[in-house]
Structure 1
Amino acid sequence: MKHMNAPPDVSQLPDGDLLDRLSEGYSIEERSLIAKALEWAETARRQDVLTRPRGIDVALIVQQLKVDAPTLMAALLSDPYLRDSVGDSVLLHQFGHPLAELVQKVNWLNTFDEYQKSESREPDQAELLRSMLLAVVNDVRAVLIKLAYRLQRLRLLRNSPEDPTRKTIALETLDLFTPLANRLGVGQLKWEMEDLSFRYLEPEEYRRLAQSLASNRIAREEFVRQFMIELQEKLQDAGIKARIFGRPKHLYSIHKKIERKDVNPEELYDLHAVRVIVKDIATCYTVLGLTHGAWLHIPDELDDYIANPKSNGYQSLHTVVIGPEGKPVEIQIRTEDMHNFAEFGVAAHWRYKEGSKQDLAMDRNVNTLRQLLEAPHGERGILDSFRSQFFEDDIFVLTPKGQVLRLSKGATPIDFAYGIHTEVGHRCRGAKVNGRMVTLHHTLKSGERVEILTIKQGGPSLGWIDPHTGLVKTSHARNKIRAWFRQQDHEKHIRTGKQILDHERQRLGLKELDQEQLVRHFHLPRTEDLLLAIGRGDLTLGQLAVALRPAQPIQPPSLPATDPPRRTFHSEGSHDIIIEGVRNLVTHLAQCCYPEPHIPIIGFLTSLRGIAIHRKDCINIKRLPSDKWERLMEVSWGPDPSKPFEEQ
């Protein structure tokens, strides 16, 4: 997961280095103006640098969006502490009317509290939204700087894990700031704000997803690197110049796709993704044809956003092909202008020629926001209209007290209950929607008022997370339910694990067990994890028997020169095993799980020793990498597995 480069600690940067970083890409004349604004911004000294954004930090974010010099200078001069020490008349005298007016607009937006302590934040949110929409219509640069302030505020919250406002600010960000950033096309701001908000709102799910992606990151990056080399060679052979690079992964986007499609992370098509940047639109379609000629593509995953741009003006060709090893790869193909617009949106607005598709799209977006602003609204009306236009994959439902809860489309009353509070979800037994009783299968719709009926004591049902019941749609609710059952069964599994381990010790005639040795053998962190794995059945009796039995040298198998009708196993007996309906193939019993007759088994094709026979519940089979699944084979015991065969 990659975000915009976080600003350095400016207190550690020499003045010259900070100016160089801020003025990179600007003319000599603009550099001198930026230097003057920086000099003024540096006078805004205060003690809360770790909790409140500074104009300098915000300017470093804005600079990465390649904005014009006045926007960068306005970010520097909008520092709240500078406003207190320098009057509007001084700014007007020093920097002129246009820049002073822009700074005033940013200051106006910054006067809104970033969080509210009242139970319902909607009146304040409505006023903040109305002000931001008005700023977009009048001067979109003020909103761009406000978005940068919100991003810097989220970054600073990483240093304050106990801050009670973290979740409130994160929720407000997803409700107001990220959809506005998306509509203005500022992808770089939107993605990082989403990921940080996700991190604060659902820390367990964020951590689980991050760890899941990190576990195979190196292999995934190497796969993408090799694919890009192969694609680059094919384009060069066709005489096409292109920039090709991997597409960064954004956890919130992946989380929403997993929730929407109800799949595991590895089932998503865009975990392996590349971008191709070419000179013009015609070449985009040429590259699309070449990729479809080189690899099999998935027709349902082809999207032409060049001919049919997204509502925010985004343009690109998207396709998914089946790459090496049968792994899907998403390819995005676009021109340099399209790429800049996708990354910077309204921040790069002035660079497009009048009448271009990007320019016209941005004008349409501003007109949409103007219509939203001018339409008659009640206190919550502007928020409802905003949500209906800006959120395509979400619904907004009300609690009995009028609070708004945002859920994924398709959510049920149980999802709603867990969205309110984990304990409400655990004790949910029924629901009313708009005053009428509904079943827990009911699909919620935007605007519905939901009341959850609970019991005093009790917990969830495992049937809730059965995908066939349709009772739970969101990963947030599923994770809370699974966590409840893990906690309930924890002590029971540990007791069971102790009993099983002691029984195996007695069966094998051992006086004592070295549990630490078993922990190391199974690569587990603690003794408690060992007992838990045994009690849950993650470690089988066969695996324990192998681990506890004194080490014995394994004799190499005796392979006959010709295929024999019968074969001898070098294990505790020989048994008839059928491999995908065929007898008399070279096999051996795996030493990791000690398969025994009548226990379900599976075969794994090895490089040198034929087919290894494992228990189906063998932990090594469960942990087998997906690229080796094709070497698994259906096997079964013969009619009389207890009777050893003799060599013929």
Structure 2
Amino acid sequence: MIRQYELVERVKAYDPELNEAQLNRAYVFSMKAHGSQVRASGDPYFSHPLEVAGILTKMKLDSDTIVTALLHDVVEDTVSTIDEIEGLFGSKIAELVDGVTKLSRIEMQTESQRQAENFRKFVLAMSNDIRVLLVKLADRLHNMRTLHYIKKPEKRRRIARETLDIYAPLAERVGLRWMKDELEELAFAQLEPEGFESITTRLAYLREQGGDLIGRIIEELRKTVSTYGLQAEISGREKRPFGIWKKMQERHVPFESMSDVMAFRLVVDDIPQCYQALGIVHARWPMVPGRFKDYISTPKRNGYRSLHTTVIGPQRMRIEIQIRSREMHAVAEHGVAAHWSYKQSNDHAPLADSERYRWLRDLLDILENASSPEEFLEHTKIAMFQDTVFSFTPKGELITMPKGSSMIDFAYAVHTEVGNRCVGAKVNGRMVPLHQRIATGDQIEILTQDDQTPSPRWETFAITAKARSAIRRFVRQREQSEYAQLGRTLLTRLCEVEGVDLAADAVETAAKALGLAGPTDLYVAVGRGDKTEAEAIRAAFPSIQLSSDRRPPTARRIDWQRKGLAGDGAIPIKGLTPGMAVHLSECCHPLPGDRIVGVLSPGQGVLVHTIDCEALEAFNDVPERWVDVAWTNGSDSLGFFTGRLKLVVLNESGVLAAVANMCARHEGNISNLKITDRAPDFFTIMLDVEVSDVRHLHSIISALRANRVISSAERLRG
């Protein structure tokens, strides 16, 4: 273990403003608090916070961070409290310790919920002070170094998986590459022991066969650059086993096909020399196409800058070369610790204000939009694990996006409100669909409209956590609102029929009787179909006998089958977004003007069918779930709906053009087309057309029937 005076000397070596008394007090306090506790290795528990502090001294972090490291487990694992720490060490240290402390004392239903809730709190604390993250990463690193002492294999695997999914990517995001590499390798050894053993054995064999191959390549690189009068610090290393494994999985190749298992680094004085060194390397050895990346002009999201290239270099070996300045190297090695100094006066600006840490603000957006800790953890993993592409706004601002991002992802990356109001996009001046993927170098302009709202369909092609969480949040809020609106209307209508007054106290009574939190939850449950309006009325008035109860199901079904267009008592579905509280059935494709009926489906809301739809036979035994619905109470347009047609057409050239032209002339938009049957003389086509109502569809059908190349045209059900 590090002795007390050794720790003080380490910090004093780089922090002349060290509060030596506070550091000594924290050392003694933590040692006494942990007392006789021991770790799985058998070592005194105090050795763990001491090792965490030692890791942070190598990163030259300030004394407040070292004190936090010494105290980071005392609240979780001893009887000490945050108030006690605040009294002894001040509010700032208490805030940092609280940020690192897990929520182990909060009862959760599952381990996944506990993990998710811990991480949610951790991100909140990290956003206020990035030192929370640095202490947490050092804590996880030491835990991983001693993970092999834990006896239960499933626990070791769970901790290793969490490290690989969350903490290694976080280390990469703040530029702690060395820590990310070690965390990945330690986790890899636990999760894939056979793969780890195989790769390390093969690397050892190559090392033995090649002798001092790395040294010989370094010497040749040094001679080459010095020939041009350029002085550079050159180093080389084998790539890490996890990095090799990951590339083998991505490329689906065996180890023998991995030719670039060595990487070399040239560190020069400034940016011009970086590009000079690149020119020297490319002039001397052939470059591997597609393997050059310029992270100086387009830095990574964590601020990392360097030139990367792969060449068929010395010894005819395929090698990767990184070229960077000394300043870039410091940031690459130590990340946030290299350029973020903390002072006890607390006069530093919040790290989240830096553009370099935009990802941290994105995590906070995800946290705000997530409906549960588990959803937040899911989105965070998505946000952490993606390669990047570089694109530009019309004003030339660089936007870094995960590989595979769509226009919707770009819109939300610009601003949440831009994403919510997005109606279209232009890439390099050309209109493109919202689902189009972004390519590096694209200049993207997002078109917005004030009355636009997110579509649930967007989530199918959005890949970034920020976009997906914002879309889910909107859809969730809109669904709840529409379910509540529909449920209130259903209850009000039934009360009018039964002649009862559903006052506020009656709604409260019904909600309580059905085990719901309040009136809003009752309305939502009725609108979603989890409870029927009849159940709610009976819960509010236990002695009531509903008029519908006095009529047999057969009689009620006949009433529905005799109905024409819905009357004044029908519930208008105008204003309810299709796909949320109301769903238009795909079995009959109802259109405005059709005679329709709704069926309450538990958990989905109302499914709207045409009155003659054969699927209604399945609901004959539950007519209490049938709902009297109407398209609208007025004559306003409801937008566009899908009508499905079956066409039999002549097999001759120009037929599809004639069909498309006829639909377009009558303002119908073809959304889908499928040839279902082919014969020498005739083709059968299924056609989906966007129309405003049933009359609009009939006008298109009439026009199609009048064309000589169309043998028949009829509306298709199902």
After TM superposition, the score normalised by the length of structure 2 is: 0.48
Matched, 1:382 2:381: no
The question of whether the paired residues in 1 share the 8 Å contact of 2:76 and 2:102 is answered with no
* 1:186 aligned partner: 176
Is it true that 1:42 corresponds to 2:31 in the alignment? yes
Counterpart in the other structure of 1:106: 100
Within-5 A mapping of 1:227-376: 227-247=217-237, 249-351=239-341, 360-376=354-370
Offset at 1:374? 1.8
Superposition CA RMSD, Å: 3.5
Distance 1:358 1:132, change over 3 A: closer
Q: Distance in 1 between matches of 2:7 and 2:218?
A: 36
| Distance in 1 (alpha carbons) for counterparts of 2:118 and 2:131 | 16
- In 2, distance between residues paired with 1:170 and 1:365? 24
Equivalent AA in structure 1 for residue 117 of structure 2: E
Distance in 2 separating the partners of 1:178 and 1:29? 30
- What amino acid is the match of 1:25? Y
CA pair 147-111 structure 1, distance change in 2 beyond 3 A = farther
Aligned pairs for 1:360-509 within 5 A: 360-378=354-372, 380-392=374-386
Match of 1:165 among 137, 155, 160: 155
Alignment: residue pair count? 383
Contact 1:296 1:322 in 2 (8 A): yes
CA gap 1:242/1:324 in 2 versus in 1, 3 angstroms? closer
- For residue 30 of structure 1, report the CA deviation from its aligned partner: 4.8
CA contact (8 A) 1:66 1:347 kept: yes
Q: Gapped runs of 5+ residues in structure 1?
A: 1-9, 395-408, 410-444, 448-648
Letter in 2 for 1:56: L
Q: 1:358 to 1:24 in 2, by over 3 A?
A: farther
* CA deviation string 1:322-354 (max 9, x = no partner): 1233111111111222222222223334159x9
Q: Residue type of the partner of 1:271? A: V
Whether 1:200 and 2:190 are equivalent positions in the alignment is yes
* 1:184 Cα deviation from its structure 2 partner: 2.5
Aligned residue among 6, 14, 32 for 1:25 = 14
Structure 2 residue 54 is matched with structure 1 residue 79: no
Q: 1:110 to 1:36 in 2, by over 3 A?
A: farther
Distance change >3 Å, CA 254–CA 23, structure 1 → 2: farther
Aligned: 1:151 with 2:145: no
Q: 1:175 aligns with which of 165, 176, 183?
A: 165
Cα drift, residue 258 of structure 1: 0.7
1:299-340 CA-to-partner distances (Å, cap 9, x unmatched) read 311111111122222211001121233111111111222222
Measured after TM superposition, the shift of residue 81 of structure 1 is 6.9
- Equivalent residues of 2:61, 2:341 under 8 A apart: no
State the Cα distance separating 1:82 from its structure 2 match. 8.9
Query: Structure 1: how far apart are the matches of 2:38 and 2:154?
Result: 17
1:187 counterpart letter in structure 2: R
Aligned to 2:434: none
Rounded Cα–Cα distance in structure 2 between residues aligned with 1:138 and 1:387: 21
Distance in 1, matches of 2:12 and 2:148, equals 28
Call closer, same or farther: CA 1:236–1:141 in 2, change over 3 Å: same
Structure 2 equivalent of residue 16 of structure 1:
5
Structure 1's 25 and 314: CA in aligned 2 closer, same or farther, altered over 3 A?
Answer: same
Closer/same/farther in 2, CA of residues 32 and 218 from structure 1, 3 Å limit: farther
| Residue of structure 1 aligned with 2:53, choices 56, 59, 82 | 59
What is the CA deviation profile of residues 210-255 of structure 1, one whole-angstrom value per residue up to 9, with x for unaligned ones?
1111112245571121111122233333333322112353221111
Residues 102, 351 of structure 1: alpha-carbon distance in 2 compared, 3 angstrom cutoff: closer
3-state SS, counterpart of residue 192 of structure 1 = helix
Larger relative contact order (CA 8 Å, sep ≥ 6): 1
Post-superposition Cα deviations, 1:476-521, rounded to whole Å, max 9, x if no partner, equal xxxxxxxxxxxxxxxxxxxxxxxxxxxxxxxxxxxxxxxxxxxxxx
Supply the distance in 1 between the matched residues of 2:100 and 2:126 (Cα, whole angstroms). 11
User: For residues 252-285 of structure 1, what are the alpha-carbon distances to aligned partners after superposition, in whole Å with 9 as ceiling and x for unaligned?
Assistant: 1111111111223343343121111122111111
Does the CA contact (< 8 Å) of 1:295 and 1:321 recur in 2?
yes
Partners of 2:130 and 2:103 lie apart in 1 by 12
Partner residue of 2:212 out of 218, 222, 243: 222
- 1:361 to partner: Cα distance: 4.2
Structure 1 residue 289, shift from structure 2 partner: 0.7
The secondary structure found in structure 2 opposite 1:318 is strand
Q: Which residue number corresponds to residue 70 of structure 1? A: 64
Determine the structure 1 residue equivalent to 2:89: 95
Q: Which runs of 5+ in 2 are unaligned?
A: 343-347, 389-403, 405-462, 466-718
Larger Rg computed on CA atoms:
2
What is the distance in 2 between the residues matched to 1:238 and 1:100?
A: 56
Measure the CA separation in 2 of the matches of 1:101 and 1:361. Answer: 25
CA contact (8 A) 1:220 1:272 kept: no
Report the residue type matching 1:42 in the other structure.
M
Greater shift after overlay, 24-33 or 171-180?
A: 24-33
The SS at the match of 1:372 is: helix
Q: Deviations over 1:348-406 (max 9, x none)?
A: 34159x99x99944331222222222224345432332232222279xxxxxxxxxxxx
Residue identity opposite 2:327 in structure 1: D
Change (3 A) 1:61 1:111: farther
How far apart in 2 are the matches of 1:239 and 1:111? 63
Counterpart Cα distance in 2 of 1:316 and 1:31: 38
Cα deviation for residue 56 of structure 1 reads: 0.7
Provide the C-alpha distance between the structure 2 equivalents of 1:109 and 1:186, rounded to a whole number of angstroms: 26
CA distance in structure 2 between the aligned counterparts of 1:221 and 1:312, rounded to whole angstroms: 37
The answer to whether the Cα contact below 8 Å between 2:104 and 2:114 also exists between their aligned partners in 1 is no
Shift of 1:161: 5.2
Deviation at 1:189, TM superposition (A): 2.3
Tell me by how many angstroms 1:288 deviates.
0.6
Whether the 8 Å CA contact 1:313–1:362 is kept in 2: the answer is yes
* SS of residue matched to 2:324: strand
Q: Distance in 1 between matches of 2:81 and 2:372?
A: 36
Check whether the contact 1:126–1:383 (CA below 8 A) recurs between aligned residues.
Answer: yes
Whether the 8 Å contact between 1:320 and 1:330 is mirrored in structure 2 is yes
Structure 2: distance between partners of 1:308 and 1:181: 20
Which whole-Å CA distance do the structure 2 matches of 1:229 and 1:135 have between them? 47
Q: Check the 8 A contact 1:105/1:142 in 2, yes or no.
A: yes
